[in-house]
Each structure stands twice: as structure tokens, then as C-alpha cells.
Structure 1
Amino acid sequence: MSPELRLFVLAGEPSGDRIGADLVNRLREQVAVDVSGVGGDALAAVGIKSLFDMNELSVMGWADVLPRLPRLLWRARQVAKAIVRTRPDVVVLVDAQVFSSIVAKQVYKAAPDIPVLLCVAPAVWAWKPERAQHLKPHFREVMAVLPFEPAFMRSVDGPETHYVGHPAASALAFRSAVPERGPMLLLPGSRDGELRRHLPMMRAVVENLASHPRISGFVLPTPRRLEATVKGRVADWPAKVDVITGEERKAAAMASAVVAVAATGTVTLELALAGVPMVTTYVADKGQARLWVRFKVKYASLPNILLDRPLVPEILQLEPDADALVSAVRSHLDDGEGPAQFEGFKTIRKMMEDGTEEDPRVNPAERVLHHWRDAP
């Protein structure tokens, strides 16, 4: 074992980019790390020179994936070949589930001795639990970011899984109360398809609620790569929208927000960890909708999934229905739903910080080092 850990990290979207960068920083508290792979701004800040633009992987739903499928498969081969050629000590693939699975299979076929770890477990608890068994040959371990996932993986004979928490639990402070008045956060997602489907509905929210007495303005956090695009799309909206970038500015906006309107995804967990009441929404393509119906998905947003109850409203649609979203947000503001959500978020915060009695939270760096130190 060399004195320096050679780590390959792949992330396919901003949330995974932040998780990957957090892992590298944690590892560097204990050992020297030479890092390579695919990432965005956060991983670039810790030393990655990305093989290609991470945003090529930021797609979701068959409507977005199919046109890009040949290029995605080519990129998967490129990543797998880079891993096999450079032989890193440990590989960590963060989320990007289908892409990561393709890469892991190709690496295992060519170099089964290279330990490949998956960070962020696939939602096998929502649909196709049998998928968990298919992960075992290709991933040495899954590092889960939801506290119930290790127990579920054991119950379906999935790969070894440890709960490592989410860096947002450390990065975001949980505020003491929900303000009576403040800005509304608009979080349409970071994928091109999500922006296309969600921004028109959020424009309607702005138009209808700009004069609401509890709303002091509108803030839209977005990745730096999308800043110019998003600013262009909201320039002619009926009220000013402050488009911001950077995690520090987003955290500050969360600290003062009265409510968020968010596309279901990792950001709903971040909002809960910061104590920001929300209304969630998602406009699915037909393939996603068929999965929801076929597997009788109970909840789509992470706060509801974690508590197994409808804590936050979910406006899930096949076609954008701005009126339904506007109505849900107005009801939230007028009926004072914030404090009830806030209490639920306290429970979520403790769960995410501690894990469960059976599966307490562990340091993800320790899991990576375990596979490095155990190498022959």
C-alpha cells in the first residue's frame, strides 16, 4: 500500500459533486489523496481535472436519456477504460445510478480486483427490490445517505451497506424558527429537462403570489453553469427573481426563507435539514409515471419518505399544471402549515445526524480507507 491514496470519483450532478468533494476533504484529514475522475465545481476545487463535463450525465427520465443514449454509453466506456488503465486504489461512483452501474460492470469484467464503491444507494426500496442483488457482484459496498437503507439492503440480500449521512447535515444550520415573512425560494432542479418543465409553473407562482403579505421577494439558487441561462429565462417574469449561485449564498437564503417551492430531489432533504417549509412538485415523463404507477410509489419527496407520512405537499404531474401548484403554495402560506413541517424536520435532522440504533452514522472516509487498507 502506497502512502498516498489514489482515488477515482465520479459525480453526475451538483448534489453528487458536493458529496464527492466532502468525501475527498474528509479523507485528506487522515491521508494524502491524489484524486481523479469526473465532477463539477466542487470536485474541481479539491483537485479533479474532469475527464469531461459532468453535466453530460445530468439527465433524468427516458425523454431526456434516449436522445443522449449513444453518447452516454460512449462516456461510460471512456470512464471504465480510464479506471482500468490508471488502476486507482479505490473508485467511488456517486449516484448517477444507471451510468454508475454500467461503469461498474465494465470495470469488474476487466479488473475485478479494483474496489468500486457506490455512494448514494439506488431507490430499490421504492421499486424493483431485486435490483439490490444485481449490485453485489460489481460494488464492494454501498455508502447510503438515508438512515433506513442499510437495513433494507440486508433484507433484500443486497451488497454490504453503511449509513454515511449527507454532507448537508454538517453544512447547513437548523434554524430556530420559521419567520412570519421572508423570501420564497424557487428550486426547479438542475437538469435541462427539469428546468424546461418546472420554470413555467414557478413563473405562475411568482405572478400570483408576488403581492402576498408573507412574501418579501423571490430567490432562485442555481449551479454556476446555469446562471446565465436561468437569468435569461426569468428576466421578463412579472416580479424580480434574484438568481444566486454558490453553496454559501444558498445556505444564507435558506436561513431567511419563509417557504420553498422545490422539485422533488436531494434539495428537499437539504431544505428539511435547514428547517425550511416547502411545497414540492415534479413533472414526470411518461416512463417515470409508469414506474410510479406500476410500483405504487407512496411518496416522491425525501422528507415524506423518511418519515413515511405526508409531511410536505407533493404536486406530481404528467403535464405542467401551474394552477395546482399555485393553489398548494397559497394554501401553505394562508393556512400556516410551516410550524407543523418544522417539527417534522427536527425529527429528520436527528435521524440524519445519528442514523439508527442498528446502523449508526459512520464517516464515509473510514469506509473508503477500509477498502484501501485491506488491499493485498
Structure 2
Amino acid sequence: MAEPLRLFILAGEASGDRLGADLVRRLGQRLPVQLSGVGGAELEAEGLASMFPMSDLAVMGWSDVLRRLPLLLWRVRQVARAIVRSRPDIVVLIDSQVFSKAVAQRVRRAGVVVPTILYVAPTVWAWRPERAPALRPLFDEVLAILPFEPAAMAGLDGPPTHFVGHPAVARFPGRPAQPERGPLLLLPGSRRGELRRHLPLMRAAVEQFRDHPRVTGFAIPTLDHLLPSLRREVAHWPAPVTLVTGEERRSAWDAAIAAFAVSGTVTLELAMTGIPMVVAYVADPHQARQYDKLGRKVTLALPSIIRGSNVVRELQLRSSAGPFDLSALSALLDDPAAIPAQLAAFAEVRALMQKGAPEAPLADVVDRVLAHAPQRLLIGS
């Protein structure tokens, strides 16, 4: 039997877990893969025995980081020691930018030379561009999921970067038609801090749109481990909310009239499916101060970032206390031109994601990872 590729992979949240599982499946079609690292249900289904629960890393915003700093520092040391001890053939660290950088720094300081790949580029093009050159000593390559990021990283003197697309393009082929009526999807995120800050906003949407003629109900697609806490949360909301997991999620997406979603990978998945949306983000106090220092609005919705124009209206807030102005959601549901315009823009986003930019065409993610594999493993693969 052929010698396996010893891959250490780390994902710190649900979107990274999906990216990692897709990568592992596709690698397994080329050669045997022996996994170690950290991940969630998707990577575990591909054979990973996670070192610890992925939820330990699922933090968002500085306030969340500070609350859990001792645990996070311990996990950094634990992951770095595991890499140093096992000397895998390749390390792939998926997103979780601060954690991934800290792990890579500790491994490099230990003098261990292991090809290390960062999967999902940091947003150096929007925030703190000086981070780009600081990544060069830590990562042999960055795999970008947005088509303009390789050029942006090169212009900022960052590590070699290739656009590898996103599995959402294939996983979400698009709905055959936009319904006239249906449930409103509420997507408050999956990390503790996200939920704490965004659930009051989602409740306000239920209150305001429970009698809207185009909204037949409300659904929160979520993860199994969040069901108990979300059931308690929505039990006393002003209208019934259905919690959906697993295969039920696809049915809910197919039926939805629109979505009210926290910024993140889910906005790309919604765009690929063809679900109109409004994007929301409630910043923690530290993030709010940093945004204010920029002196300009930061675009958060991935479809708008990819297309380079305001495809999706955004509700950016500094507090979860309310009251909330949900006029953007009203406009989406009430303006006859709003939904068709979004769907046409989403088609352009899909085309960009399928081809890449002229200077950075789409590369195969497996090819890019295997470019760093020991030659002995590639003979005959």
C-alpha cells in the first residue's frame, strides 16, 4: 500500500471545518491521507480524531478573546507541540487568523521546518496591511478564497498566494426559482460571541416581520451542539422559530424568501444558492473603536467584496442593545426591483468565483497543497 500523506489540519469554526473536509476528501482521491489536528463534525466524518473540541477556538472579537485567553494560549502551545513532535508532511491551518499565526510562530521558533499553508487569506487589503509581510516567514503559501486576494497580497509583499475558489460554488448550485413567499432565514452565527451579540437583533426581526405578507415563518439553520441553548433562547420570542440542522437545512434554504445573516462565509453560500439577503454585524467595543479609527465604512458582505460594489445592504451596529433600524430588510422585501437586482449580481459573483481574476486564475486546491508534499509520496499519485 502507498505511503500516506501525513497531514496536520486545523479548523477553528464551522466554515473552516467545511473547507477542511472538502480538502481532505479531494486529497484522498489522489493518495492516502493520515490525519491529525483539530476540527469539527465535518472533518471528523473524514477520519480526523480532533485533539480537542473545535468550539474552544470559536471566538470572535477581542472581548471574546480576552475572556478565554488562558485557554487559547494553552491550545496554541498544545497544537504547536503536537506539530513539532509529529513532524507531519504538511500543515494546513484554516482561517482562525490570530490563532494560526501564533501556532506558526511557535513552530518556527522551535526550528522545525514543516511546509505550512494558511488556507483563507487574512483581510490585509482592508485592515492593517502591514500584516502581509509579517506572514512571509510563517507561511509557505496562502490559499485565497477570493479572486482578487493574490494580487492584493503580492502588492503588499505577503507570502505566495493562489486563488483556489470555494467549495460553496459546487455545493450550492443555485435554486431553480425565487419564491414569492416563504420563511425568513435567520443566521446569527455559530460562535458564542456572535450569538450573544446578534440574537437580540434576530429577535427584533421576528417581532417586526411576523405579520409581513411575504414571510411565512422563521427558521434558524444551526449546528447540533447549539440546539439546546437556541431552543431556550427562542422559546419566548414573539413568533415561533424553527431550528433546523442536517439535511433539513437544505429544505429551509430552498423555501426561504430571504435571509438576515451575520457577515461571514455564509453570505457567499447564500449568494451561490440565490437567496436574497441583508447582512448584519454587531461589533464588540474593541472592533468598534478600530473601525472608527479607519475613518471609513468597511464592507463586510462577501458578495459585495468580490464584485466590488454594494450588492448587499449591510446593517453595521456598535451595540446589541437596540432599538434596531431594520429598514434595509423592509426594502429588500417590499421593493419589487430589489430581489431581482441582487440575484443578477449573485450570478456575476458566481462567474468570478468559477474563473478567478485574469492575473490569478482559479487553481486547484489539491494541486497547491501537494506542491509542498515530499516527492516520495507523489510518484504514481
Q: TM-score normalised by the shorter chain: which range applies? A: over 0.9
Tell me the CA shift for residue 265 of structure 1.
1.1
Question: Aligned residue for 1:19?
Answer: 19
Tell me the CA shift for residue 111 of structure 1.
3.7
After TM superposition, list the pairs within 5 Å mapping 1:221-260 onto structure 2: 221-246=221-246, 248-260=247-259
Partner Cα separation in structure 2 for residue 34 and residue 272 of structure 1: 34
Partner Cα separation in structure 2 for residue 272 and residue 49 of structure 1: 33
The number of residue pairs the alignment matches comes to 374
Cα shift readout 1:85-109 (whole Å, capped 9, x = no counterpart): 0111000000000000000011112
Q: Which moved more, 1:349-358 or 1:121-130?
A: 349-358
Q: Does 1:269 align with 2:268?
A: yes
8 A Cα contact 1:127 1:297, kept in partner: no
Partner Cα separation in structure 2 for residue 117 and residue 297 of structure 1: 31
Partner Cα separation in structure 2 for residue 79 and residue 249 of structure 1: 34
Aligned-pair identity in percent equals: 52
Question: Aligned residue for 1:372?
Answer: 373
Partner Cα separation in structure 2 for residue 375 and residue 75 of structure 1: 32
CA-atom RMSD, angstroms?
1.5
Q: Which moved more, 1:326-335 or 1:122-131?
A: 326-335
Tell me the CA shift for residue 70 of structure 1.
1.7
8 A Cα contact 1:281 1:325, kept in partner: no
Runs of 4+ in 1 over 4 A off after TM superposition: none
Partner Cα separation in structure 1 for residue 263 and residue 327 of structure 2: 18
8 A Cα contact 1:89 1:372, kept in partner: yes
Residue type of the alignment partner of 1:175: R
Question: Aligned residue for 1:176?
Answer: 176
Partner Cα separation in structure 2 for residue 233 and residue 80 of structure 1: 37
Residue type of the alignment partner of 2:110: A
Partner Cα separation in structure 2 for residue 291 and residue 269 of structure 1: 25
Partner Cα separation in structure 2 for residue 82 and residue 31 of structure 1: 23
Name structure 2 gaps, 5 residues minimum.
none
Question: Aligned residue for 1:360?
Answer: 361
Partner Cα separation in structure 2 for residue 260 and residue 321 of structure 1: 21
Cα shift readout 1:254-302 (whole Å, capped 9, x = no counterpart): 2221110001111111111111110111110121112222233431111
Q: Which moved more, 1:12-21 or 1:326-335?
A: 326-335
Cα shift readout 1:227-265 (whole Å, capped 9, x = no counterpart): 11112211122221110112x432332222111000111
1:32 to 1:325, Cα distance in 2 relative to 1, 3 A: farther
Partner Cα separation in structure 1 for residue 325 and residue 265 of structure 2: 20
Question: Aligned residue for 2:284?
Answer: 285
**SS across alignment from 1:243:** strand
**SS across alignment from 2:329:** helix
**SS across alignment from 2:68:** helix
Q: Does 1:344 align with 2:345?
A: yes
Tell me the CA shift for residue 3 of structure 1.
2.1
Q: Which moved more, 1:21-30 or 1:359-368?
A: 359-368
Q: Which moved more, 1:23-32 or 1:305-314?
A: 305-314
Partner Cα separation in structure 2 for residue 335 and residue 345 of structure 1: 18
Tell me the CA shift for residue 362 of structure 1.
1.6
Tell me the CA shift for residue 191 of structure 1.
1.0
TM-score (norm 1): 0.96
Cα shift readout 1:24-81 (whole Å, capped 9, x = no counterpart): 0010010000111000000110111111111111111111111211210111010000
8 A Cα contact 2:200 2:321, kept in partner: no
8 A Cα contact 1:201 1:325, kept in partner: no
Q: Which moved more, 1:292-301 or 1:32-41?
A: 292-301
After TM superposition, list the pairs within 5 Å mapping 1:1-376 onto structure 2: 3-246=3-246, 248-295=247-294, 296-320=296-320, 322-336=322-336, 337-374=338-375
Partner Cα separation in structure 1 for residue 264 and residue 149 of structure 2: 17
Tell me the CA shift for residue 326 of structure 1.
2.9
8 A Cα contact 2:84 2:112, kept in partner: no
1:305 to 1:321, Cα distance in 2 relative to 1, 3 A: farther
Residue type of the alignment partner of 1:364: V
Q: Which moved more, 1:17-26 or 1:190-199?
A: 190-199
